[in-house]
Amino acid sequence: MGMTMTQKILAAHAGLKEVEAGQLIEADLDIVLGNDITAPVAIQEMEKIKKKQVFHKDKIALVPDHFTPNKDIKSAQNCKCLREFAKEHDITNYFEIGEMGIEHALLPEKGLVVAGEAVIGADSHTCTYGALGAFSTGVGSTDMAAGMVTGKAWFKVPAALKFELTGCPGKWVSGKDIILHIIGLIGVDGALYRSMEFVGDGIKNLSMDDRFTMANMAIEAGAKNGIFPVDEKTIAYMEEHSKKEYKVYEADEDADYEKTYPIDLSKIRPTVAFPHLPENTRTIDEVGEVEIQQVIIGSCTNGRIEDLRAAAKVLEGRKVKKGMRVIIFPATQDIYLQAMEEGLLSTFIKAGAAVSTPTCGPCLGGHMGILAQGERAVATTNRNFVGRMGHVESEIYLASPAVAAASAVTGRISGPEELGL
C-alpha cells in the first residue's frame, strides 16, 4: 500500500522507507515553535532536564503574540521569560514587539517553514504550515520542551482523509468559507487525529492566503494536520520569502484514505459558523436577522493582506453602523505596512474602524476586544466556543473578512451582496 503526502514526510524524518497509519515513530524536527503563553511552561519543564542546551539555535522560534502588547504584569513576566531565554541560548528567531506578528502568519512570511519539513508548535494552529506542503502540528508545552532539547518528537502516524476540490469559488467566497463548509460537513471531530489532505484541480483556483486559512482550521475538525500539494503558487511563495531548500512530496496513487470527500468549490456560498462550535454552519442565505455589537477582522486565520483587501473593498466609501465596534488586526508588521501603503488603513479608519498592532488578543478573549454579557460578535477568527472571546453568555459568529465587513456596515450578519457588491 502506498503512502499519503503526510506519511511520506514523516517517514523521511524518521529515517524509514515507509510508515503506516497507527505506527509510532520518532521524527527529526525542522522547527520548534512557542509563544508567550506556552513557551514559558516549556522553558520551566526544560529546566528539569539535565541537558539544558537547545538542539539548534536556528531551529527554534519564539513569538510573543497572545497577550502582547503586554496587557498586565503576568503577561509582561511571560514575555520577559521568553526574552531572557532567547538571549541566554542565542535564539535566532525571536520576534519582539515592532518586528513581530501573529506566529502562524509570521513564520511563513519570514521563510522559516518550507515544503517537506516537519514542524511542531506549542499552539494548536501550528497546522497552518500545511499550506506550504509541510507536516506541521500543535503539541503540548512538555513536548515543546523535549523538542527544544532533542530536536525530535514522537508521533503516531495519522490515517488520512482526502478532500477532492474541483471548480472555482464564486465571488466573495474565500478559503474561510470553504473550510467552514467542510467543517460543517464533517463536524468538529470528523477528522479526529487524521491528516486532512487537500487535492484536486480546484486548488489552482485558491491563493496561498486561502490555503493558509484552510490549513489553519484543520484542527477545528479535530485533525492532526492539514496539507496541500506543492504547485507553482507554493513554489513562488517560498522563493519570494525563503532561502531554505524545500522538498516536494507527493502522495502515491495507491495511498490509503479512510474516506474521500468531493468538494465543488463553485457551489459553496459565503458561510457563517453560529455559536458555539465551528461545525454549526449556515450559508449567508440562511442566517436570518442576527444583530451584532462587534466585528473582529484579523487573527492567524484571516489577518493576511488578501483578507484586509477584501474587507477594505467592502468598507470603501461606507461607514460602520453607529455604535458598532470594529477592530482590525493585520497579522504581521509587514502586512500592516503593506496595508498602509495600499491605503487600506485609511479606508478602515474613515469607515469608523480601529486598527491595532498585530496581536492574538481578542481571538482568545485575552485583551483588545473582550465581549460583555449578551453581546454578539462576527469574527474572522477560528473558534467560537462558549466564553472564547469574553463573557460566557456572549456569542461569536465566525465568518470571512468580506462578510465581517458587510456586517459592520449593517449592524447584523450580512453578506457583501446585500450592499450591492
Residue ranges at the known binding site for [4Fe-4S] cluster: 300, 360, 363
Find the helix packing angle between 208-216 and 305-315, rounded to 10°.
100
Measure the CA–CA gap between 116 and 118, rounded to whole angstroms: 7
Annotated binding site: 300, 360, 363
Cell of 266: 463553485
Cell of 161: 482523509
Burial of 252 (0-12, 13-18, 19+ CB in 10 A): middle
Measure the CA–CA gap between 121 and 81, rounded to whole angstroms: 18
Structural contact between residues 367 and 283, judged by C-beta atoms closer than 8 angstroms:
no
Structural contact between residues 181 and 272, judged by C-beta atoms closer than 8 angstroms:
no
CB atoms within 10 A of CB 244: 14
Measure the CA–CA gap between 359 and 368, rounded to whole angstroms: 9
| Secondary structure of residue 150 in the 3-state scheme | helix
Measure the CA–CA gap between 273 and 23, rounded to whole angstroms: 35
AA letter at 373: Q
Q: Strand pairing partners for 369?
A: none
Count how many residues are written for the chain.
421
